[in-house]
C-alpha cells in the first residue's frame, strides 16, 4: 500500500532519516520504534508531506497503481488516502465531537471548501461522522464539546478524525501518549479494530503494546533502519537490544522502553 525508497532527510549536517527503504502491505499493522531522536516523527512527516525529502521517493498504491507522492502537500497526500493522527492531541476544542469528525469527512469530499457551514446541509458527511463515532466508541458524546472530553477520549476522537474519508493507510503517532492506564486497553482495542480494514503504521513507546499488536516491527536508530522483522525476532535482535530495548521483558503491567 505504501512504500519509501532511499528516503533521506537532512537538516544541515544532521541526517535525520538516512536512506530508508520501507514498505507497508495491505492490511498490515507495522510498528515503528526506536530511541528518542531516532527519526520516527521526521519519517512520519516525510510520508505525509509535512516535510519534503532531501532524497528518495514515496509511493502509495491506489486502484492497483502506484502513485508518486514525493513532495506532495499534506492536503494532497490525505486526498490520495494517507491519513495520520498526531503525537499531541489535535482537535477543534470548542466544536462538538460530531463537528470535528464531520468537518474531517467533508474535507475529503466535494464540499471541502464549505468548511463550517451548518452540518445539516451535508447529510452524507454527518452520516459518515456518526458511523465513525460509533466505531471509536464516542457516539454517545457526539454533541459534547471536544474540550470536555478526557485525554483518552480525545485520543479516540483523533483516531476518528483520521478515519474520516476512508483512508487506505493510517499513520498513528503515539496514540497512547498521556493516556491514563485505565484508558490504554480501550485505545489498544481501537488500534486492533482499525487494523482489520486499514494498513496501519504505528509509532508507540510502550513495548508491551508494540509486541502484542504488531504484525511487524521496524526499528530506527540515528535515522537508519537497524531491524525489520516480526515481533519475536526484533525482541531477540542483539543490535536492537543494544540500541533500544535494553533488558526488555514482557510484563503484565506494561513495561515502557
What is the number of domains present in the chain?
A: 2
Please tell me whether the overall predicted TM-score, pTM, comes out greater than 0.95 for this model: no
Query: 102, 134, 166 — which closes off a domain?
Result: 166
Mean pLDDT on 183-206: 89
Going through the chain in order, the beta strands assigned E by DSSP cover 2-11, 14-24, 29-33, 55-62, 65-68, 82-84, 169-173, 199-203, 216-221, 224-229
Q: Are both 2 and 26 inside the same structural domain?
A: yes
CATH code (residue 11): 3.40.50.300
Among the candidates 146, 166, 186, a domain finishes at 166
Instruction: Report pLDDT digits (tens) over 205-236.
Output: 888 889 889 999 999 999 999 999 999 999 99
Report the alpha-carbon angle 194-203-82, nearest 5. 55
Which residues are CB-contacts of 236 (< 8 A; sequence separation ≥ 6)? Answer: none
Last residue of a domain, one of 166, 198, 226: 166
Give the model's pLDDT for residue 107. 79
Q: Which of 57-61, 74-78, 140-144, 183-187 is least confident?
A: 183-187
Average pLDDT estimate for 42-65: 92
Do 175 and 232 belong together in one domain? Answer: yes
Which is more confidently placed, 141 or 89?
A: 141
| 182 and 59 fall within a common domain | yes
3-state secondary structure of 189: helix
pLDDT on residue 254: 38
172/250 same-domain check: yes
**Cβ(202)–Cβ(24) under 8 Å?**
no
Residue 106: closest CA among 94, 93, 120:
120
pLDDT band at 118 (very low <50, low <70, confident <90, very high): low
* Structural domain that includes position 75: 1-81+168-257
Average pLDDT over residues 45-67: 92
Amino acid at each position: 500500500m505504501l512504500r519509501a525508497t532511499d528516503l533521506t532527510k537532512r537538516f544541515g549536517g544532521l541526517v535525520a532519516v538516512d536512506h530508508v527503504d520501507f514498505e507497508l502491505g495491505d492490511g498490515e499493522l507495522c510498528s515503528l520504534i526506536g530511541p528518542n531522536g531516532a527519526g520516527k516523527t521526521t519519517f512520519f512527516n516525510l510520508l505525509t508531506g509535512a516535510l519534503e525529502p532531501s532524497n528518495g521517493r514515496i509511493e502509495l498504491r491506489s486502484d492497483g497503481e502506484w502513485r508518486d507522492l514525493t513532495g506532495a502537500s499534506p492536503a494532497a497526500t490525505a486526498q490520495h488516502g494517507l491519513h495520520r493522527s498526531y503525537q499531541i492531541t489535535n482537535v477543534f476544542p470548542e466544536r462538538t465531537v460530531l463537528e470535528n469528525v464531520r468537518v474531517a469527512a467533508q474535507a475529503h469530499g466535494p464540499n471541502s471548501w464549505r468548511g463550517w457551514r451548518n452540518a445539516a446541509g451535508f447529510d452524507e458527511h454527518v452520516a459518515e461522522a456518526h458511523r465513525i463515532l460509533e466505531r471509536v466508541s464516542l457516539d454517545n458524546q457526539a454533541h459534547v464539546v471536544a474540550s470536555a472530553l478526557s485525554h483518552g477520549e480525545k485520543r479516540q476522537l483523533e483516531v476518528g478524525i483520521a478515519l474520516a474519508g476512508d483512508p487506505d493507510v493510517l499513520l498513528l503517532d503515539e496514540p497512547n501518549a498521556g493516556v491514563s492506564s485505565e484508558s490504554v486497553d480501550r485505545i489498544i482495542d481501537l488500534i486492533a479494530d482499525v487494523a482489520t480494514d486499514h494498513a496501519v503504521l504505528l509509532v508507540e513507546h510502550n513495548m508491551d503494546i508494540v509486541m502484542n499488536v504488531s504484525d511487524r516491527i521496524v526499528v530506527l536508530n540515528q535515522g537508519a533502519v537497524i531491524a525489520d522483522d516480526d515481533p519475536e525476532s526484533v525482541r531477540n535482535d542483539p543490535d536492537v537490544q543494544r540500541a533500544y530495548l535494553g533488558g526488555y521483558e514482557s510484563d503484565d503491567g506494561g513495561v515502557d522502553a
